[in-house]
Amino acid sequence: MRVVLLGPPGAGKGTHAVDLSKEYGIPHISTGDMLRAAVKAQTEIGIKAKGFMDKGELVPDAVVVSIIRERLAGKDCKNGFLLDGFPRNNAQAKMLDEMLAGIGAPVQAVVYLETSNATIIRRLTNRRVCKSCGATYNVLTMPPKKEGVCDLCGGALYQRTDDLESTIMNRLKVYADQTADLIDYYKKKGLLKVVNGDLDRSAAYKEFQKTLASIS
């Protein structure tokens, strides 16, 4: 199953992708996670990306596309993948189409998590992330068992530098200006499915399961 998750920051793409990845046995590929790992490891890509990320701007297409190209070539992508945070503009979507056409394995569905601004801001300002494994929590709705500590690995939780309110506003603007057009792009291709991102985790997940049931 080859699926793209689309939706504004805070829609829940990452949260649902983790569960879907387990259920369907396909990798969760998040360009945001990969870029944060590169920043942490201070690789050449990470050093280039950090400034853009801290401002809530998109990292240049060439950088992100090279990361994705390499990742999709991985053996574990043979049976499919869940893309989270990529593509994020028209140029990236076209490059993805070309890449996948080349191996005869096009995107089969695009799930758009339609989410209101109120939900987004509430989720992002309360989001905490594990320093070690990247698991995400919400101090109000999905708190860890022990404050500040990851349930899964015991790592310390932190607030992403781009989850501060001023940067969130810019990310929403970038989303509206550059990413929202992709809804139409995939609708025209007949691939778009919509899930209500305002629902809580388990209710939204049920919608996902129903939506993806028709895709092999």
Active site residues: 13, 88, 127, 160, 171
133 in contact with Zn ion (CB under 5 A): yes
Cβ nearer to ligand ADP, comparing 88 with 216: 88
Rounded Cα distance, 92 and 65, in Å: 7
Q: Are 9 and 172 in contact (CB under 8 A)?
A: yes
Cβ nearer to Zn ion, comparing 124 with 150: 150
Least Å distance, CB 88 to ligand ADP, is 4
User: What tokens were used for 142?
Assistant: 């999905």
129 in contact with Zn ion (CB under 5 A): no
Cβ nearer to ligand ADP, comparing 146 with 196: 196
Least Å distance, CB 131 to Zn ion, is 8
157 in contact with Zn ion (CB under 5 A): no
Instruction: Return the residue matching tokens 């945001």.
Output: 32
Query: Cβ neighbours of residue 128 under 8 Å, at least 6 residues apart?
Result: 136, 137, 138, 139, 144, 148, 157, 158, 159
96 in contact with Zn ion (CB under 5 A): no
Rounded Cα distance, 193 and 120, in Å: 20
Enumerate binding residues for Zn ion (CB under 5 A): 130, 132-133, 135, 150, 152-153, 155
